[in-house]
């Protein structure tokens, strides 16, 4: 693969910024090797990182950092190293996966508004921890099945006005979501069919998609579907991420090892 022309995705996504090598590696292990006992062989990891346009020295530094942080562990098996998530790294990857890999929400999903007597840090924290989003002074929105604490007024929602839909969007991520949307839209048009890509190509592609999506989606609570503006870039990204990850399914680690050996 090092002799292949670089995947268009690499250049497109490199323009989005936020591609710290250790963080890319977290995305890669989370996507490919989250299962108990999963490990990525050193040569496979090197090939993928090279395809991601990361220099070998930068990969070694990132691996070292993630081992020190207790996220990854490495062991020698014969002549090669095998790298895997630690129990902690796997637990954190597992915890983040439902948000990262969630299907796009149904836009008719019911929602509720929860009103509080007064704004206090405790109340605010409790509601945010329960997945609620501040929408107005003393009013939060959430999915209909999110339980509001006792003593709050919880009213089931109905067709929301446009201003409310916009009020719950994470405004600070608007530009980032728009840039990701452009990148994903370009990718969908340009990428070859899955059967024309080998397992390593797919691993690289998925890593870029998951990584750039994860950076944004984990920064804000999930919006209840019934409050989402269909044209909101965050939702449009979600549709494309979901389509792409289904179009290019996760390769098995054995396929990766075989593709790497053949390269």
Which residue from 18, 56, 70, 156 is in contact with a copy of itself, where contact means CB under 8 A? Answer: 156
Q: Does 139 bind a copy of itself (CB under 8 A)?
A: yes
Q: Which of 221, 119, 165 is nearest to 157 (CA)?
A: 165
34-42, 89-97, 155-163, 182-190 -> range binding a copy of itself (CB under 8 A):
155-163
Rounded Cα gap, residues 48 and 147, in angstroms: 43
Ramachandran angles phi, psi of 174, nearest 5°: -55, -50
Q: Does 172 bind a copy of itself (CB under 8 A)?
A: no
Q: Does 151 bind a copy of itself (CB under 8 A)?
A: yes
The CA-to-CA distance between both ends of the chain, in Å, stands at 5
Measured at the alpha carbon of residue 168, what is the angle toward residues 173 and 111, in degrees to the nearest 5? 135
Do 16 and 180 form a contact (C-beta atoms < 8 A)? Answer: yes
Instruction: State the nearest-atom distance from the C-beta of 160 to a copy of itself, in Å.
Output: 6
- DSSP annotation of 74 reads E
Closer Cβ to a copy of itself, 143 or 240, answer by number: 143
Q: Does 142 bind a copy of itself (CB under 8 A)?
A: no
Rounded Cα gap, residues 197 and 5, in angstroms: 12
Which residue from 61, 94, 144, 153 is in contact with a copy of itself, where contact means CB under 8 A? Answer: 153
Do 34 and 213 form a contact (C-beta atoms < 8 A)? Answer: no
Rounded Cα gap, residues 213 and 48, in angstroms: 19
Instruction: State the nearest-atom distance from the C-beta of 133 to a copy of itself, in Å.
Output: 14
Closer Cβ to a copy of itself, 71 or 140, answer by number: 140
Closer Cβ to a copy of itself, 57 or 162, answer by number: 162
Closer Cβ to a copy of itself, 61 or 136, answer by number: 136
Instruction: State the nearest-atom distance from the C-beta of 233 to a copy of itself, in Å.
Output: 21
Pairing of β 133-136 and β 111-115: unpaired
Ramachandran angles phi, psi of 11, nearest 5°: -70, -40
Question: Can you tell me whether residue 87 is helix, strand or coil?
Answer: helix
Q: Does 137 bind a copy of itself (CB under 8 A)?
A: yes
- DSSP annotation of 5 reads P
Beta-ladder partners of 84: 73
Rounded Cα gap, residues 173 and 106, in angstroms: 22
Q: Does 130 bind a copy of itself (CB under 8 A)?
A: no
Which residue from 6, 20, 152, 178 is in contact with a copy of itself, where contact means CB under 8 A? Answer: 152
Instruction: State the nearest-atom distance from the C-beta of 106 to a copy of itself, in Å.
Output: 20
Q: Does 154 bind a copy of itself (CB under 8 A)?
A: yes
Which of positions 89-118 make contact with a copy of itself (CB under 8 A)?
113, 115, 117
Which of positions 26-85 make contact with a copy of itself (CB under 8 A)?
none
Binding site for a copy of itself (CB under 8 A): 113, 115, 117, 136-139, 151-158, 160-161, 163-164
């Amino acid at each position: 693969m090092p002799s292949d022309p670089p995947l268009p995705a690499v250049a497109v996504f490199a323009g989005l910024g936020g591609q710290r090598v250790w963080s890319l590696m977290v995305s890669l292990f989370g996507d490919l090797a989250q299962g108990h006992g999963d490990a990525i062989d050193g040569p496979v990891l090197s090939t993928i990182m090279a395809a991601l346009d990361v220099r070998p020295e930068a990969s070694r530094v990132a691996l070292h950092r993630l081992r020190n942080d207790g996220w990854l562990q490495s062991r020698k098996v014969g002549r090669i190293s095998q790298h895997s998530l630690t129990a902690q790294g796997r637990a954190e990857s597992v915890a983040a996966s439902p948000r990262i890999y969630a299907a796009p929400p149904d836009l008719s999903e019911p929602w509720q508004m929860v009103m509080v007597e007064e704004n206090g840090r405790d109340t605010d924290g409790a509601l945010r921890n329960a997945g609620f989003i501040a929408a107005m002074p003393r009013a939060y929105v959430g999915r209909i099945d999110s339980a509001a604490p006792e003593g709050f007024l919880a009213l089931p929602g109905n067709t929301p006005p446009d201003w409310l839909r916009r009020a719950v969007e994470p405004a600070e991520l608007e530009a980032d979501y728009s840039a990701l949307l452009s990148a994903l839209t370009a990718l969908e048009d340009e990428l070859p069919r899955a059967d024309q890509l080998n397992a390593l190509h797919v691993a690289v592609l998925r890593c870029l998609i998951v990584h750039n999506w994860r950076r944004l989606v984990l920064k804000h609570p999930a919006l209840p579907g019934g409050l989402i503006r269909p044209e909101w870039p965050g939702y449009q990204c979600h549709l494309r991420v979901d389509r792409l990850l289904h179009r290019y399914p996760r390769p098995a680690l054995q396929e990766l090892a075989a593709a790497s050996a053949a390269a």
